[in-house]
Structure 1
Amino acid sequence: MRAPRPYLMRALLALLLAALVAGCGFQLRGTGGTYNMPFHRIFVGIPDTSPLGNDLKRNLRGADTITIVDKPEESDAQVLLVSEARGRSILSLNSLGRAREYLLTYTVVFRVLDGKGATLLGPTEIALRRNLAYDETQVLAKEAEANQLYRDMQGDAVQQMIRRLAALKPPAQG
């Protein structure tokens, strides 16, 4: 049995188009993961026990030009955590008055100082929200889903922090 010609032509055309797009260096915006940071030495003033701090340090270490230092005096910039909060509120109720959907929130407030303590970026808030459909017959699964959503929001917050760091003006040399 012979394959119909229109399907074969479409498949070949799609394959050719995919090869052309891959060969030209096309890349979706934001997938490179590299930023041109104006700093070379950064102090991260977030406790080592914080998952946010560990995630931020890991992402900063991914950049070849960044060194994370242990003392603020040795740095070009200091990233300091002002606050971090998780929240959960009821978004909708079912006919029995039980929660059917929750709104999960994750808020991070941070600021950036230069090595001498002068403010480069005042307190900046990153607030993220996700909806969670709730089913009381699957409590453990929904709790695991909520934890995964919080981890995803934390990762999004770290990426936003890095983009804001990259957008800062380099400190004046003098």
Structure 2
Amino acid sequence: MTNTTRLLLLAATLSLAACGFHLRGSDLKGMQFAFKSLYLKRSGETPFVSDLRRALTSSKVTMTEKPDQAELVLEVVSEQTAKQILSLSGSGRVKEYQLFYRVSLRAYDSQQNDWLQSEEIVLSRILPYDDEQVFAKEQEESLLYKDMRVDAVAQAMRRLSRAKPQL
């Protein structure tokens, strides 16, 4: 590697760092919360719940086993995925689907004071569809749902970082 190449590489790296660029999800680790411990109330162990627990733990929030041990209870009220036809071809075949990922959250403390009143996170993505690539489109659909789940966790973390008791 020549000195010119190294210099250009260094300049590119420094300019990315100077403009505030960071990888998606890396901003979740340094979040500050108004609570130290949290109980995650959910109906089952879903990938969203696992990802959220992992993000909270990496942000130094203590996860408790019982709600009375926690400063805050975060209830995952619902988590849903949906798919609807967005457009059809002239012959009536599906050209595009719109995928939806919806999570409803509520946070409250031991005195039942709301910190987050039934917040709903709704995300959507467009999936171009082709009958000749069914398997590939199924994989793309699952990747889009995973991407929306990651975005939903990030949004939930940002909302929790701003949460305060609403008296």
TM over 0.5: yes
Residue in 1 aligned with 2:108? 113
Residue in 1 aligned with 2:121? 126
Question: Per the alignment, do residues 14 and 47 of structure 1 end up closer, same or farther by CA in structure 2, a change over 3 Å counting?
Answer: same
Aligned pair partner of 1:139 in 127, 134, 141: 134
Give the TM-score taking structure 2 as reference length. 0.86
- Counterpart-to-counterpart distance in 1, 2:46 and 2:129: 28
Secondary structure in structure 1 of the residue aligned to 2:130? coil
Return the offset for 1:134: 0.4
* Bigger mean CA deviation after superposition, 69-78 or 41-50: 41-50
For the pair shown, the structure with the greater C-alpha radius of gyration is: 1
Residue in 2 aligned with 1:46? 42
Kept in 1: contact 2:103–2:120 (CA 8 A): yes
Secondary structure in structure 2 of the residue aligned to 1:138? helix
- Counterpart-to-counterpart distance in 1, 2:141 and 2:67: 35
Secondary structure in structure 2 of the residue aligned to 1:129? strand
Instruction: Show structure 1 runs of 5+ residues with no match.
Output: 1-7
- Counterpart-to-counterpart distance in 2, 1:121 and 1:51: 22
Return the offset for 1:13: 5.6
Residue in 1 aligned with 2:51? 55
- Counterpart-to-counterpart distance in 2, 1:145 and 1:134: 10
- Counterpart-to-counterpart distance in 1, 2:27 and 2:87: 38
* Bigger mean CA deviation after superposition, 97-106 or 11-20: 11-20
Aligned pair partner of 2:144 in 130, 146, 149: 149
**Two-structure CA RMSD over aligned residues (Å):** 2.4
1:17 is aligned to 2:11: yes
Return the offset for 1:171: 8.7
Aligned pair partner of 1:160 in 136, 143, 155: 155
Secondary structure in structure 2 of the residue aligned to 1:32? helix
Stretches of 4+ aligned residues off by more than 6 angstroms? none
- Counterpart-to-counterpart distance in 2, 1:107 and 1:21: 37
Equivalenced residue count is 162
1:28 is aligned to 2:24: no
Return the offset for 1:27: 3.9
Return the offset for 1:169: 2.3
Question: Per the alignment, do residues 161 and 16 of structure 1 end up closer, same or farther by CA in structure 2, a change over 3 Å counting?
Answer: closer
> What whole-Å deviation, never above 9, does each CA across 1:27-62 have from its counterpart, x for those lacking one?
426643220111100001124521111111011111
Instruction: Show structure 2 runs of 5+ residues with no match.
Output: none
- Counterpart-to-counterpart distance in 1, 2:45 and 2:118: 22
Return the offset for 1:170: 6.2
